[in-house]
Amino acid sequence: MSITAKTVMELRAKTNAGMMDCKKALIETNGDMEAAITYLREKGITKAAKKATRIAAEGLVFTAITEDEKIASVVEFNSETDFVSKNDDFINFGQALANLVLENEISTIEELKALPYKAETIETKLTDMIAKIGENMNIRRFERVVSDHFVTSYLHMGGKIGVVLNLNSEATEENKTKAKDIAMHVAAMAPDFFDKADVTAEILEKEKSILRAQLIEEGKPEKIIDGILIGKMNKFYEENCLLQQKFVKDDKITVAQYAGNLKIVSFVRYKLGEGIEKRNEDFAAEVAAQMKG
């Protein structure tokens, strides 16, 4: 039996497995559809595919840094429950992902999944873990930061928030201490922008429009609204822009003032599950549903 794109699609429709897994299964079974389905089940791929639609919003954020402190990586690796994220296999694999991102110039999840991991690939290992543990797991995002001078990282709450900073100054002990403090600040204060110059005109106009409408609603005279807006926009910068934020360890100074001669180039902040819609389910009802089917 010839293996065509149509045949691969048919197997995918029946098993929900990935295209490459379906193609490999058909090759291994000489195009026999039923044997290919059995092959996928035996490998745990069908079981893993069924779990792929389940929401994975728990997990951990992992970071890694090269010995010369020139390159850093940050990876968000998700699971369905917090319980699984405490599993040693999950933790070890997540750290391996961060290390692989550190060592390889890649830019997509697909490239990461294709990298070798021990005697298999990252994708194969992930599929095996999903089948073995019984939960959906997902490599959600990653970033690799390369610095001309040095980088630093910080994990908050055991990996619920991860931060990487790119610094453009000499890696002195004083600068390293300041960098770590600022990374902790980023974790705590969650700035949306690096500097007020990074806030786009569109965002500024939208914010001004909202604030103007609020002031009018409060009955403020039109002639003084523009003056009030200046103060409110400065407050907006102070709340949302890293360099203008009040430093978390000393609110009498800004982050820029604390940094002093330490030049911050950029920051990356990952908060676990950020932007993922979590599904709240009754556990008893879920067990009952599983017993029925």
Average pLDDT over residues 146-174: 97
* C-beta separation of 46 from 17 below 8 A: yes
Q: What's the domain count of the chain?
A: 2
In this structure, is residue 200 part of a structural domain?
A: no
Residue 157: which region, alpha, beta or left (left: phi > 0; alpha: psi -120 to 50)? left
- What is the rounded CA–CA span in Å between residue 3 and residue 43? 20
pLDDT of residue 52: 56
Q: Which has more pLDDT, 41 or 292?
A: 41
| pLDDT higher than threshold 70 for residue 289 | no
In this structure, is residue 111 part of a structural domain?
A: yes
pLDDT of residue 43: 73
pLDDT of residue 115: 98
pLDDT of residue 290: 41
Q: Spell out the residues 6+ positions from residue 74 whose beta carbon is closer than 8 angstroms to its own.
A: 61, 62, 63, 98, 142, 143, 145, 153, 162, 163, 164, 268, 270
Residues 14 and 81 in one domain: no
- What is the rounded CA–CA span in Å between residue 5 and residue 11? 10
Average pLDDT over residues 152-167: 97
Burial of 38 (0-12, 13-18, 19+ CB in 10 A): middle
Q: Which of 80, 111, 146 is the last residue of a domain?
A: 146
Residues 36 and 64 in one domain: no
In this structure, is residue 254 part of a structural domain?
A: no
Instruction: Kindly state the helix (H) or strand (E) to which residue 269 belongs, with its residue range.
Output: strand 264-271
Residue 34 maps to which CATH number?
Answer: 1.10.8.10
In this structure, is residue 194 part of a structural domain?
A: no
* pLDDT tens digits for range 37-58: 888 877 767 655 555 556 678 9
| pLDDT higher than threshold 50 for residue 277 | yes
Q: How many CB atoms lie within 10 A of CB 194?
A: 16
Q: Which of 111, 146, 181 is the last residue of a domain?
A: 146
Q: Which has more pLDDT, 10 or 17?
A: 10
> What are 99's two structure tokens?
């290390």
For the chain, give the percent of residues with pLDDT over 70.
Answer: 90
Residues 30 and 60 in one domain: no
pLDDT band at 72 (very low <50, low <70, confident <90, very high): very high
5-15 vs 33-42: helix axis angle to the nearest 10? 50
* C-beta separation of 137 from 89 below 8 A: no
Average pLDDT over residues 72-91: 95
In this structure, is residue 86 part of a structural domain?
A: yes
Residues 84 and 122 in one domain: yes
pLDDT of residue 291: 40
Closest by alpha carbon to 140, among 162, 120, 118? 162
Q: How many CB atoms lie within 10 A of CB 183?
A: 25
In this structure, is residue 40 part of a structural domain?
A: yes
Average pLDDT over residues 120-124: 94
Average pLDDT over residues 144-170: 97
* pLDDT tens digits for range 239-275: 999 999 999 999 999 999 999 999 999 999 999 999 7
- 127-131, 138-142, 216-220, 282-286: which range is least confident on average? 282-286
pLDDT band at 286 (very low <50, low <70, confident <90, very high): very low
Average pLDDT over residues 141-156: 98
pLDDT of residue 6: 86
In this structure, is residue 229 part of a structural domain?
A: no
- What is the rounded CA–CA span in Å between residue 157 and residue 162? 9
In this structure, is residue 129 part of a structural domain?
A: yes
Residue 109 maps to which CATH number?
Answer: 3.30.479.20
pLDDT band at 280 (very low <50, low <70, confident <90, very high): very low
Residues 86 and 117 in one domain: yes
Residues 37 and 68 in one domain: no
Residues 47 and 74 in one domain: no
Q: Which of 146, 167, 202 is the last residue of a domain?
A: 146
Mean of pLDDT over the chain: 89
Domain that holds residue 44: 5-51
Q: Which has more pLDDT, 281 or 121?
A: 121
> What are 252's two structure tokens?
């009498």
